[in-house]
């Protein structure tokens, strides 16, 4: 059984399991020798919860918090007022490694307004990608927690590629994001 790495609460666990059950069954049959990798990132921002949710639930703001060298371009036709909802597909082009352009599609699989949303890769470079975004009101602002789980294709070679390149790249994306969000909104300090 897969359990939410953040809170082990039923709502998060159900969202992870229900959104991923059929994909995971297929994935595990094909990639049983591929490791699941996870990164947890926490950031405190001096924003009201509502303002943080409004910013992060807009797919258009992904451009603002993605490193420029990744050449991130959203191909979906979103409007500024669009916000995430379960079933939303986000199509984009991105160059995650070596400036090689890739097409990537993620689906928003679960949303609880002002609390969390989850995106999962439907087409892209990973054998599996699951990203949980949590928002929690704290004194003076909001605590944002991202938990990303992924599998790199290629059996044991995928684990080698992850160790050499992918893990560092994912960490670098969140380091950039932390700096960019601090520039945009300030900080409450370290978690």
pLDDT in tens, 17-72: 434 444 444 444 455 556 899 999 999 999 999 999 999 999 999 999 999 999 99
What is the per-residue pLDDT across 95-126, written as a single tens digit (0 to 9) for each?
A: 877 788 889 999 999 999 999 999 999 999 88
DSSP letter (8 states) at residue 77: -
pLDDT for position 33: 59
Q: How far apart are CA 90 and CA 100, in angstroms?
A: 20
Enclosing H/E stretch for 173: helix 167-185
Strand residues in the chain grouped as ranges (E): 37-45, 73-74, 89-94, 102-112, 116-123, 128-138, 141-151
Nearest to 6, CA basis, from 113, 127, 141, 135: 135
* Model pTM above 0.85: no
Neighbouring C-beta atoms of residue 173, cutoff 10 Å:
19
Instruction: Assign 189 a pLDDT band (cuts: 50, 70, 90).
Output: confident
Q: What superfamily does domain 10-185 belong to in CATH?
A: START domain (3.30.530.20)
What three-state secondary structure class fits 78?
Answer: coil
Q: How far apart are CA 74 and CA 24, in angstroms?
A: 26
What three-state secondary structure class fits 184?
Answer: helix
Instruction: Assign 2 a pLDDT band (cuts: 50, 70, 90).
Output: very low
């Amino acid at each position: 059984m897969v359990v939410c790495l953040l809170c082990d609460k039923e709502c998060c666990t159900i969202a992870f399991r229900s959104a991923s059950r059929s994909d995971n069954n297929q994935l595990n049959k094909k990639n049983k020798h591929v490791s699941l990798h996870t990164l947890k990132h926490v950031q405190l921002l001096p924003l009201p919860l509502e303002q943080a949710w409004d910013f992060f639930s807009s797919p258009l703001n992904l451009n603002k918090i993605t490193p420029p060298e990744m050449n991130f371009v959203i191909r979906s036709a979103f409007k500024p007022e669009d916000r995430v909802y379960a079933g939303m597909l986000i199509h984009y082009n991105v160059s995650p490694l070596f400036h090689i352009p890739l097409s990537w599609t993620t689906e928003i699989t679960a949303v609880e307004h002002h609390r969390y949303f989850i995106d999962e890769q439907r087409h892209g470079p990973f054998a599996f990608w699951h990203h949980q975004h949590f928002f929690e009101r704290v004194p003076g602002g909001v605590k944002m927690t991202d938990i990303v789980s992924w599998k790199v294709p290629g059996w044991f070679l995928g684990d080698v590629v992850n160790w050499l390149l992918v893990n560092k790249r994912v960490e670098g994306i969140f380091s950039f994001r932390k700096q960019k969000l601090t520039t945009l909104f300030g900080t409450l300090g370290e978690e």
